[in-house]
Amino acid sequence: MVRRGMCRGPSLLAVASSSVPERHLIAVEPSTRPAMHAVMVEAVEAAGGTVVPIEQASALMFADPAAADTFPDIIGAGPGVEWIQLPYAGIETFQHHLDHDHTWTCGKGVYAPPVAEWIMTALLTAFRDIPRYVRASSWPVQDGKNLLGAKLTILGGGGITESFMELIGPWGCDVTVVRRSADPVRGAARILTTDHLHEAVADADAVIVALALTDETRNIVDAETLTAMRSDAWLCNVGRGSHVITDDLVTALREGVIAGAVLDVTDPEPLPDGHPLWELDNCVITPHVGNTPEMGLPLIADRMRVNVGRWIAGVELIGPVDVGAGY
């Protein structure tokens, strides 16, 4: 038996059996995001579960990632809840709620394929000098370089990186992965731990941020990291805005410390009108669309359907949260 809140492996969580309340009794709360609530209810029922009030439930499907502040009141009304499924892979707003009294799972890996597509788009946009061409008002000077055979460094070794490695394979890139541990990532030429970050970025054509946000990874891309990059290198951030010190990035882009940045996340977010990043020709910003609600709802619904079926059967769940690490 594995203690709740602990995981036996990197992708599955062992779940202890329970008889009271019955395992098929599942709560879906809150209802403040109707579209997400509806698909979660459908997923629970499709897996053979019965949607019940939190007071009767053995498990909770949390149905609004923006309503983390409501969690204490909801879980406080559900003394029989053993398992909590969170909807997103990024769970920083729930980190202070994590405990070892419950089994926690999240959307880890669910959204990785569409986010990996965004990384491919960002790299091709940067390498082919699309930002300059889009802004041109007359025939521009030709420029750009191949993604084929490029040297890439990815910060993070989770599901996004795994999905990206599948997409980038045919391009024959030399990929370095920087992560907390030295565990291998299929397709990567080398793995370096975070204490070798500057070494990892020094020779890269592009540095990709695909990390979970924790106290250890917050502000990991600072002035020193940007200075360690090549002057013709691009930064692509699909993790969280707080991975990058925004003022340091603005300075680096203005002064040509790096070639440019493609950002799907910013700090602050949304990025306010008039912010310096909007004014920089070598910065491309997309409004957190690596995975949109329209893309994501069918994916998280499928994950919940599978996990509810596993919960009812008393077998291992997919997408465990490492309570100690906070993701």
- Would you name the residues annotated as active-site residues? 240, 269, 288
How far is residue 88's CA from residue 14's CA, in Å, rounded to a whole number? 20
How far is residue 196's CA from residue 198's CA, in Å, rounded to a whole number? 6
One-letter identity of residue 6:
M
Contact 222, 250 (CB under 8 A): no
152 φ/ψ angles, rounded to the nearest 5 degrees: -120, 140
How far is residue 100's CA from residue 103's CA, in Å, rounded to a whole number? 7
Question: In the chain, what is the straight-line distance between the N-terminal and C-terminal CA atoms, in Å?
Answer: 22
Residue with tokens 């919960």: 311
Contact 311, 23 (CB under 8 A): yes
CA trace torsion 104, 107, 110, 115 (10° rounding)? -140
